[in-house]
Structure 1
Amino acid sequence: MHENVRVTAWVRGKVQQVGFRWWTRARALEIGLTGYASNLGDGRVQVVAEGSRADCDRLLGLLRGPDTPGRVTGVTEIWGTAGAGYPTFEIR
């Protein structure tokens, strides 16, 4: 069974004012995920994504990869069950 999951990730580093949320949205939409990316007051970006575990893992790999805008110094994530769902992947 391929039940959807939710991953919430907090991305640290130079990830604000560098197009990071837009880049994340584009990658999530390419993969077929829904959710959002949002700037936090402490300089991190919060990413909430829903989809298959494999697709969410793929997005996490991209967030940790060398091709992100800015400079990622770390990603912390928690996993959970998918909620009511999001209509698309948005920037908040």
Structure 2
Amino acid sequence: METNAIKFQRKVAAWEVIALRPFHRTYFSPPPLGIIRLRRIMSEPNQQKQLTAVVHGYVQGVSFRYHTHRAANRLGMTGWVANQRDGTVKVVAEGDEAALRQMVAFLHEGSPAAHVQRVEEKWADATGEFSRFSVKYLG
């Protein structure tokens, strides 16, 4: 016999499929905010990971942070992206491991004008310290 929690999980899964269909949005636009929240609520804590990535190459001044921010929102992640003084871009992102792997694939491609040489990855368990994904600026 199904409990109410299992029935609710199935409904949420169906809502995500409907909400994430690409016919009404562009590729990088984020899913509706309610779906992001539901996805975070329904994700099990042990599946949440943190990715710290440093992207090397021609990645500053080519809208790399903007495209990374949009990709992270589309994938329902939290964290931040920032230019570093040494010419690299640093990304700290938390979310489902599958979504983080998609982010790594995106980071290897970068924005249309970027030329990524390599991506250094460091994986850890999620800390839950971020409430959204943001762009940081050096001050």
**TM-score, length of structure 1 as denominator length:** 0.92
* 1:22 maps onto 2:66 in alignment: yes
Do the aligned partners of 1:32 and 1:51 also contact (CA within 8 Å) in 2?
A: yes
Greater C-alpha radius of gyration: 2
C-alpha separation between the residues in 1 aligned to 2:104 and 2:126? Answer: 16
Partner of 2:120: 76
- Give the drift of 1:49: 0.5
* 1:53 maps onto 2:53 in alignment: no
Do the aligned partners of 1:35 and 1:48 also contact (CA within 8 Å) in 2?
A: yes
Higher relative contact order (Cα pairs below 8 Å, separated by 6+ residues):
1
Q: Which runs of 4+ in 1 moved over 4 A?
A: none
Partner of 2:47: 3
* Letter aligned with residue 53 of structure 2: A
Partner of 1:90: 134
- Give the drift of 1:4: 0.5
Structure 2, unaligned stretches of length 5 or more?
1-43
* 1:39 maps onto 2:86 in alignment: no
1:14-43 alpha-carbon deviations (Å, 9 max, x no partner): 111111001000000001111000111100
* Letter aligned with residue 48 of structure 2: N
- Give the drift of 1:70: 1.3
Structure with greater helix share of residues: 2
Distance 1:29 1:69, change over 3 A: farther
For the aligned residue pairs, the C-alpha RMSD in angstroms reads 1.5
Distance 1:83 1:68, change over 3 A: farther
**TM-score, length of structure 2 as denominator length:** 0.62
Structure with greater strand share of residues: 1
Identity of aligned residues (%): 34
Distance 1:66 1:90, change over 3 A: closer
* Letter aligned with residue 124 of structure 2: G
1:39-60 alpha-carbon deviations (Å, 9 max, x no partner): 1110000000000111100000
